Amino acid sequence: MKSLVHGHVNVGLIAGVLFVLLTYLVVSQQTALSRPNVVTTVSQWLSTNKQQNEGPGETVVTTEEQQIVDKQLIQGSSESEKVSNKVVCSTEERFSDYCELDGDVRINGKAWSVDIVPPGWSSEQRREWKIRPYSRRSASNVDTLNVTQLQDPASAPACTVTHHAPGVVFALGGYSGNAFHDHADVLLPLYLTSLRYDGEVQLLVINRVQPWWLGKYRLALRRMSKYDVVNLDGDAHVRCFPHLTVGLRLHMDFGVVPEMVPGQGHRRVSMPDFTRFLREAYALPRGAPVKPGKNRPRLMLIQRQRTRRFLNEAEMVRAAEAAGFEVAVTDLLIDAAVDEQARVVNSFDVMVGIHGAGMTNEVFLPPGGVLVQVVPWGKLDLMARVEYGEPAADMGLKYLCYNVTLEESSLPELLGRDHPAIKDPDSIHRKGWAAMFDIYMTKQDVRLDIERFALTLAEAMDHLRSLQ
């Protein structure tokens, strides 16, 4: 009888403990659900008690007490608040290194480090990646960022700036400073990476070896993000993000693979989206070319001043006028303001130029316009097609290629017909880019066969007539 009573007491005691525990969990869950209001209140307190200037969309922490509050905001104080980290890093794709990091992510520009901080001690193995944030891994003159997935949150540096928008880290240097690489390596992949955020994203740059670069492309950058670009070079802050993309992902030499664009779901993003973005950023008025009729279509002839010159420019102009075009000859300068140059190019229907960075201005032509690329002699047609021809077609332009023959090149007269560059171009290509560039891109001018050129002009005009 005594043991039976004792058993009833034990059962009652266990039931009571379970009831108290259940009550505690329910209350804790309700507290956790109401926690966002607490976070907002603390954030408001921080914004009214800050002691330093802060940029838009960020909170600057200046005291030890604020650092403690900031850490609580990021890590949370109950299991229901903790955000599990999601880490995707790739160093094996054809072109690029990159990481997509979710959770508590902290970047210290001065230390060239990015830490992914677990909400508590993690059983996962500590992992590290060295990421070159430039979109072409082959650009060896770009430093790397050390990305580390930590095990112990106590080893993470304290946040001094908390960004509530996601961040994207990209590098300059590399091949940037050249108009083609500025658009293909930086602006296009940056646009594709930031598109999902609709302006609510913080851009961060490292390796800013060209101080003028951000100013030159400020209108496009402002269209991507509502916030000023943060320069991480020597930045003493530990900046904390809920999501951080480290590095830009290059899809192809200059183009878009819709399946690789993050966060777009069933929407297929393509090159016309990028050129539309640029027209909006630079307030370009024309979204379609002129159809021949009452008005003559306008043709821009790009004449280079030092290398790869057209030696019979006047004849080319007369041929274009005879084909029905209004013609203007120009040299698109490398240091010209992008917005001004974009408006000039957008005012034309056809652009004719010899292979080189100036062809990148195809991005400003109205959709349906025509790009005529003159390819110098020396087996350069594949490179010309990949860099400018295929992108032009993807943009919705009509692409026409005029391949220069040996008789139209200045090289035989300059080097002699027995020179290896004339007799065996492959031997020059085997020596590498520098040797090929030095001869075929630097020493060569061209004198077009006007009868052949007239056929290309007629094809351009026929295309414009065919437009609805």
CATH number reported for the structural domain that contains residue 320 in this entry = 3.40.50.360
341 lies in the same domain as 398:
yes
Mean pLDDT of the chain: 84
Q: Where are the alpha helices (DSSP H) in 327-388?
A: 338-346, 381-384
| 40-54, 144-158, 256-270: which is most confident | 144-158
Q: Which of 269, 300, 326 delimits the end of a domain?
A: 269
Q: Are residues 327 and 205 in the same domain?
A: no
Residues 137, 176, single domain; the answer is yes
In the prediction, which pLDDT does 348 show?
A: 98
| Same domain assignment for residues 309 and 339 | yes
How many percent of the chain have pLDDT more than 70?
Answer: 81
Quote the pLDDT of residue 78: 29
Question: Are 94 and 212 found together in one domain?
Answer: yes
pLDDT reading at 41 higher than 60: no
Instruction: Inform me whether the pLDDT recorded for 305 exceeds 80.
Output: yes
Of 166-180, 202-216, 244-258, where does mean pLDDT reach its minimum?
A: 202-216
One domain for residues 227 and 294: no
Average confidence (pLDDT) over 252-263: 94
Rounded Cα–Cα distance for residues 55 and 62 (Å)? 14
Mean pLDDT of 246-266: 91
Residue 354 CA to residue 302 CA, distance in Å, equals 8
Encode pLDDT of 19-28 as tens digits.
444 444 433 4
pLDDT at 251: 96
Q: Are 113 and 226 in contact (CB under 8 A)?
A: no
Q: How far apart are CA 379 and CA 403, in angstroms?
A: 9
Residue 237: its pLDDT value, please?
96
pLDDT greater than 90 at residue 63: no
Give me the sign of the Cα torsion angle 362, 368, 372, 373: positive
The predicted pLDDT at position 73 comes to: 31
Does 419 reside within a domain?
Answer: no
455 and 342 in a common domain: yes
Residues 107 and 160 in one domain: yes
d(CA 293, CA 366): 18
Looking at the domain assignment, is residue 240 inside a domain?
Answer: yes
Last residue of a domain, one of 269, 299, 324: 269
Same domain, 328 and 209: no
Q: How confident is the model at residue 84 (pLDDT cuts 50, 70, 90)?
A: low
pLDDT at 85 exceeding the cut of 50: yes
**Residue 276 lies inside a defined structural domain of this protein:** no
- Asked if 296 and 253 sit in the same domain, the reply is no
pLDDT at residue 455 is higher than 60: yes
The total of other beta-carbon atoms located within 10 Å of residue 426's CB is: 8
pLDDT for 263: 84
Domain termination site, one of 236, 269, 302:
269
Looking at the fold, whether 352 and 264 belong to one and the same domain comes out as: no
Q: What single-letter amino acid sits at 43?
A: S
pTM of the model: 0.81
Least confident range of 42-51, 53-62, 179-188: 42-51
Q: What is the DSSP letter of 44?
A: H
The pLDDT tens digits for 288-299 are 999 898 899 999
H-helix or E-strand containing 215? helix 213-216
Q: Note the pLDDT tens digit of each residue in 323-335.
A: 999 999 998 877 7
Q: Is 373 within a domain?
A: yes
* Residue 201 phi, psi dihedral angles, 5° rounding: -150, 140
pLDDT at 119: 87
- Let me know if residue 321 belongs to a domain: yes
Residues 173 and 222 in one domain: yes
- Cα 222 from Cα 218, distance rounded (Å): 6
Is residue 15 scored above 50 in pLDDT?
Answer: no
**How far out from the chain centre does Cα 404 lie?**
33
Asked whether residue 457 is assigned to any structural domain, the reply reads yes
Contacts (Cβ under 8 Å, ≥6 apart) of 456: 372, 400, 402
**SS3 of 6, please?**
helix
Does 52 fall in a domain?
A: no
- Total tally of structural domains belonging to the chain: 2
List the domain range (segments joined by +) for residue 453: 288-409+444-467
Question: 7 lies in a domain?
Answer: no
